[in-house]
Amino acid sequence: MSIKVRFIRPKLPLLLLVILSSVFTGVSSLQAVEFDEEYLYYRDANVPPFQKSREFFDMPDRKGYFEVTMISDAVGPLTFRIVRVKGDVEATQVQQRSYRVGGHEFQTRFDNISGQDDLIVEVSNSNPVAVAKVSVFVVELPAR
């Protein structure tokens, strides 16, 4: 049995949505989630204590507007960073640190109007004892 959830840039973390839906349906285990709107990329990353994870998203000739969302239930602090890559040159676009105890959410836009840029998503885990599990979604937004 799968649960149908519409991905509409929520401020509520996706994991919480899945947990709530399993509570209301009386199912004890987490279920797979189907999206009405397909995401362009999805990755899960495990970031060891005092280390960082860099995920490269190749977007060759993909003009458009995108949204990057990262969620985690890890005990912070976590640092989220979005890097624009043009050729061999990397430029930090956005960086944010989160000190929460679970419920981390980071969301930003990545506009690739020229279609020549690629994306790197970086997560740094500053917790000395726990692995941070982070889910990364990249969604293509409709043209303006």
Q: Do 58 and 82 lie in a common domain?
A: yes
What pLDDT is stored for residue 134 in this prediction? 92
Q: What is the pLDDT of residues 38-78, one digit of tens each?
A: 667 888 989 999 999 998 888 767 888 899 999 999 987 99
Q: Do 33 and 51 lie in a common domain?
A: no
What pLDDT is stored for residue 143 in this prediction? 73
Q: Which domain holds residue 15?
A: 1-37
Q: What is the pLDDT of residues 80-138, one digit of tens each?
A: 999 999 888 999 999 999 998 888 999 999 988 888 889 999 999 999 999 999 999 98
Strand-pair category, 78-86 with 89-98: antiparallel
Q: pLDDT higher for 12 or 117?
A: 117
Q: Do 79 and 17 lie in a common domain?
A: no
pLDDT at 14 over 80: no
Q: Do 30 and 60 lie in a common domain?
A: no
Q: Do 76 and 87 lie in a common domain?
A: yes
Q: Do 81 and 53 lie in a common domain?
A: yes
Task: Tell me how far CA of residue 144 lies from CA of 68, 108, 109, 111, 140, in angstroms.
Answer: 17, 17, 13, 11, 12
CATH number of the domain encompassing residue 100: 2.60.120.380
Count structural domains, the chain.
2
Indicate yes or no: pTM above 0.85.
Answer: no
What pLDDT is stored for residue 1 in this prediction? 41
